[in-house]
A and B are shown apart, each in its own frame.
Chain A
Amino acid sequence: MEPFVFFGGKGGVGKTTVSCAYGLKCARADRETLVVSTDPAHSVSDVFDQQFGDDPAPVEGIDGLHAMEIDPDDEVQRHLDGIRSDLSEQVSAAMVNEINQQLEMAHRTPGAYESALFDRFVDVMRNADPYDRVVFDTSPTGSTLRLLGLPEFLEGWIERLMHKREQSIDLFEKAAIGNNEPRRVMDGDPVLARLRGRKEFFEFAGGALREDAAFFLVLNPDQLSVNETGRAIAELREKDLAVRGLIANRLTPEPDPDEDGRGARYLRDRVETERDRLRQVREEFDPPLVAEIESRTAEVRGDLLGDVADELAVETDVERPSFV
């Protein structure tokens, strides 16, 4: 299977648990594995009972498993600082203030957070060399879908910008008659160079997502979760990113047949409802249901994570990346 594996789904269905369990499974199968949380409300730290930061750190007690949590705030700040230092090198003091304002504004627009997150996870994919497999624990459906839809959209946008820039430089060159120095020249134009760099970045992101990534959706056996999963499948397909499989989490365990207390009846009813939902999932959705994970009485961490990993029928072998 592809080296990059994404787990998505509605909020609270257990994406983090499944991602960590899968990470563990891969590590046990002797693959160097990195678990990356892109959900601003991080919980990978809670599952492994260990604090993770913006750089990959080894998970204690598990060989071959690393984890990291992307902090978009940090990333926005880093981006801002980078531009500021460029600014102080290039721009005269008088203009710095003016431009600084523009800069601050750009980093407070609603899209900045998403862009930062996107930049960072593409960066992780790009530098995935030391790892055989990178597992992404994504944020709830809506924002992840938007994130994954970015490359194509941005590529087109940057292309239009480059075209405009080229046109105006071309005219400036033409306007320089005789010995006049043209106001801008095409060769070595830093703006075009920057735009080109960005375009390559988005091309890489789009290619890596289409060729080297596999997507799984986690769902709970209730109507809301099933509906949202259906929408997510459709939306991902629209973006040419097919969902490889579905994982049903938090299934209610069935009581023994001889039990007939109130609790047993409750469970039996519940199991019946869930069976209906799962049937719906099997019949209506195209991606196969690859794992059914029973609900646990305690939070899934430590040894329990190993049990969950065993239930997860998702293959661990890694194909060589074809695009990266």
Chain B
Amino acid sequence: MELADRIERAERALREWARGLYHGMISHPAYEKIEKEAEDLEDAFMLACFPDAFGIPSPVSYYTAELLPFIEDEFEAWERRLWDRGTLIERKGQQYHF
């Protein structure tokens, strides 16, 4: 009886470790990578919409301004990411966990 309990406990611990390992090594980096890529694309989208934020006049910013009410979160995150970003290499480098 006692042995069975201990085996079960050990098995549970092992399973948790395995899951953690899998999550940390395989699944988390995978979706993190995809998410980062998505963010990069979104940054490109934001830059194409609002180049005048960097002093580049855009013929369409009059129209893209209509999007502003709907992209509050994106706008804030975009600005934050731009402040954070040292270089493109650094950002790409973050996606690899050595």
Contacts and interface: CB of A to CB of B under 8 A. Distances in A.
B65 A102 contact: yes
Contacts of A160: 48
B68 interface: yes
Given A106-B64, A107-B62, A175-B31, A87 B69 contact: yes
Interface of B: 27, 30-32, 34-35, 37-39, 41-42, 44-45, 48-50, 52-53, 57-72, 75-76, 79
A102 B53 CA distance: 7
A112 B59 CA distance: 8
A116 B62 contact: yes
A106 B48 contact: no
Contacts of B61: 105-106, 109, 111-112
A165 interface: yes
Interface in A90-135: 90-92, 95, 98-99, 102-103, 105-107, 109-112, 115-116
A95 B72 contact: yes
Contacts of B57: 109-111
A171 B41 contact: yes
Contacts of A171: 34-35, 37-38, 41
Central interface residue in B27, B60, B61, B68, by most chain A CB within 10 Å: B68
Interface stretch (A60-68, A190-198, A286-294): A190-198
A83 B64 CA distance: 11
Interface of A: 79, 83, 86-87, 89-92, 95, 98-99, 102-103, 105-107, 109-112, 115-116, 153-154, 157-158, 160-161, 164-165, 167-172, 174-177, 180, 183, 190-191, 194-195, 198
Nearest to A168: B41
Q: What are the nearest 10 A-B pairs in CB distance?
A: A171-B38, A168-B41, A106-B65, A86-B69, A175-B34, A115-B62, A175-B35, A190-B70, A164-B45, A106-B61
A164 B31 contact: no
A158 B41 contact: no
B48 A89 contact: no
B64 A111 contact: no
